């Protein structure tokens, strides 16, 4: 289901904040030496509150941005991001990485370790080390607490109000801010606006720490200055309309030289390109061609002419385009050859299972996915494809069991709740089905629809006392959040 199909259900609550590569100038980085903006304790935001703000951040992002719900792409970016986090001084901070389907050359970090990257930036990179350099820079802004003072400045507000305040300051209308709510807290937003200044010191520190993360995770540290240098050349090409990266992250020769000097402290490393990086870029490339039949033709010509950096990636791109074109048998043939060469690659396994499911061979898909999940139980792509296949095979209990287990790895993915709702419905667990659907709507920021689903759940026959109490408690929490939103609207009139 397209998350944006529901956008008209609610007034927009823009939260998106602390863009590191996408802030309106001059807000690219936040000065940790800000004067006290109202927090009498003088301490940084508590981890609990930061997590809650992070969840609100993602709800707003999903409502206002084209967050890709493709499990395979999400799986890859998560894997890459977590590899970098493992080499950082993350101090147990949970991180979540996601992709926004937008040609902008952009990326950002938000509260709770949520880091988004745009498809345009992925396609702009030349190597996986360059893509890793961007993510490492974002991770560094989080680990060095460059962002926490901004969140702390809103710590005396409720989570929804803090979200609107920070959105007003950082992004405003750029992602569809709630104009009425912004007006209601405009004075405080104006004060915060005056206190935040772009600092080169924070950017240099994020570069330095990011380079260390790159080296520690096995990537080539020189990829960061290399990417800066290419962006610097682009700076001279673009006239009045710079990419977000260049508009908000000025790439100067001194910054590039400084990054290169730091990278030169590490030995040169010819790290092998990860196949998954090439697969991701080729999948994005074929998606850019509107008609899948045209994509199949263009990528086939690319393969025949030898115009590629990775042959397996081009063949994979052809298979993905064939799946889009419903040419399932042709896609299966391509994927079988790829699996013979690379039997454990998630992209090939999940895509082949999708082809099997599409042709009614759910049993084969389930067997394939079950074997893969034994090796990689936390894979987002494998878990969701398994659930889809189980539902198609008339085995909703298997889908419910697998997805419930997966929630221990990631409890904030809307599509997981959507599939759980389908499974519960097939099992005639009506109240549970509506409760799961409520969580789906809540995760994508549709508060009214979430409350309505809880109302329906409570009216289902056979709801026992304990389930009713749980549903009532959840509904009360969402209703309170709804009241806060309504109060902001009233205050702005």
CB 211 within 8 A of CB 224: yes
Annotated active-site residue 138? The verdict is yes
Pairing status of strand 114-118 against strand 96-100:
parallel
Angle between helices 346-358 and 328-341 (to 10 degrees): 150
Distance CA 147, CA 169 (A): 13
Distance CA 287, CA 85 (A): 29
Distance CA 205, CA 142 (A): 11
H helix runs in 242-327, sequence order: 244-248, 253-263, 275-287, 292-305, 311-324
Distance CA 110, CA 96 (A): 10
Nearest residue to 88 via CA among 216, 208, 219: 216
Task: Give the Cβ contact number of residue 342 at 10 Å.
Answer: 15
Distance CA 75, CA 346 (A): 9
CB 118 within 8 A of CB 102: yes
CB 193 within 8 A of CB 213: no
Place of tokens 């878990």: 383
Which residue in the list 50, 128, 130, 138 is annotated as catalytic?
Answer: 138
Q: CB within 8 A of 193, min separation 6: which ones?
A: 169
CB 314 within 8 A of CB 299: yes
Distance CA 140, CA 107 (A): 13
CB 463 within 8 A of CB 431: yes
Distance CA 332, CA 338 (A): 10
Which residue in the list 50, 70, 130, 207 is annotated as catalytic?
Answer: 207
Q: What is the CA radius of gyration of the chain?
A: 23
Nearest residue to 78 via CA among 387, 384, 440, 438: 384
Annotated active-site residue 400? The verdict is no
Task: Give the Cβ contact number of residue 197 at 10 Å.
Answer: 12
Catalytic residues: 138, 207
């Amino acid at each position: 289901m397209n998350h944006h199909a529901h956008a008209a259900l609610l007034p927009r609550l823009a939260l998106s904040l602390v863009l590191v590569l996408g802030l309106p100038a001059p807000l690219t980085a936040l000065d940790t030496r800000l004067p006290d903006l109202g927090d009498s304790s003088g301490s940084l935001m508590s981890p609990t509150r930061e997590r809650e703000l992070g969840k609100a951040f993602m709800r707003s992002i999903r409502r206002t941005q084209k967050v890709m719900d493709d499990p395979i792409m999400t799986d890859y970016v998560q894997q890459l991001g977590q590899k970098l986090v493992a080499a950082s001084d993350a101090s147990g901070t949970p991180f979540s990485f996601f992709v926004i389907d937008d040609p902008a050359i952009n990326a950002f970090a938000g509260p709770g370790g949520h880091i988004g990257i745009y498809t345009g930036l992925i396609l702009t990179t030349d190597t996986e080390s360059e893509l890793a350099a961007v993510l490492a820079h974002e991770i560094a802004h989080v680990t060095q607490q460059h962002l926490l003072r901004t969140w702390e400045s809103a710590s005396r507000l409720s989570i929804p109000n803090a979200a609107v305040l920070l959105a007003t300051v950082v992004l405003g209308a750029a992602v569809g801010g709630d104009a009425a709510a912004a007006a209601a807290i405009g004075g405080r937003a104006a004060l915060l606006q005056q206190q935040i200044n772009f600092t080169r010191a924070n950017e240099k520190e994020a570069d330095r720490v990011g380079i260390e993360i790159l080296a520690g995770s096995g990537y080539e540290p020189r990829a960061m200055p290399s990417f800066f240098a290419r962006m610097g050349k682009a700076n001279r090409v673009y006239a009045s309309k710079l990419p977000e990266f260049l508009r908000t992250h000025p790439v100067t020769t001194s910054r590039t030289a400084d990054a290169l000097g730091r990278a030169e402290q590490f030995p040169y490393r010819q790290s092998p390109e990860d196949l998954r990086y090439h697969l991701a870029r080729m999948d994005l490339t074929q998606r850019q061609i509107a008609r899948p039949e045209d994509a199949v033709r263009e990528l086939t010509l690319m393969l025949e002419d030898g115009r590629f950096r990775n042959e397996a990636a081009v063949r994979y791109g052809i298979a993905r385009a064939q799946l889009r074109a419903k040419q399932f048998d042709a896609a299966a043939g391509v994927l079988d050859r790829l699996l013979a060469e690379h039997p454990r690659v998630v992209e090939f396994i999940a895509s082949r299972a999708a082809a099997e499911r599409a042709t009614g061979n759910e049993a084969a898909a389930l067997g394939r996915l079950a074997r893969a999940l034994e090796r990689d139980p936390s894979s987002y792509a494998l878990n969701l494809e398994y659930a889809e296949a189980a539902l198609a095979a008339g085995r909703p209990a298997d889908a419910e069991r697998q997805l419930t287990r997966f929630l221990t790895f990631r409890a904030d993915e809307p599509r997981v709740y959507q599939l759980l709702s389908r499974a519960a419905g097939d099992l005639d667990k009506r109240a549970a089905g509506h409760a799961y659907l409520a969580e789906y709507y809540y995760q994508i920021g549709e508060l009214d629809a979430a409350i309505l689903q809880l109302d329906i759940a409570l009216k289902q026959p056979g709801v026992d006392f304990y389930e009713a109490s749980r549903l009532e408690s959840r509904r009360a929490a969402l209703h309170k959040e709804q009241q806060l939103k309504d109060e902001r609207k009233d205050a702005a009139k």
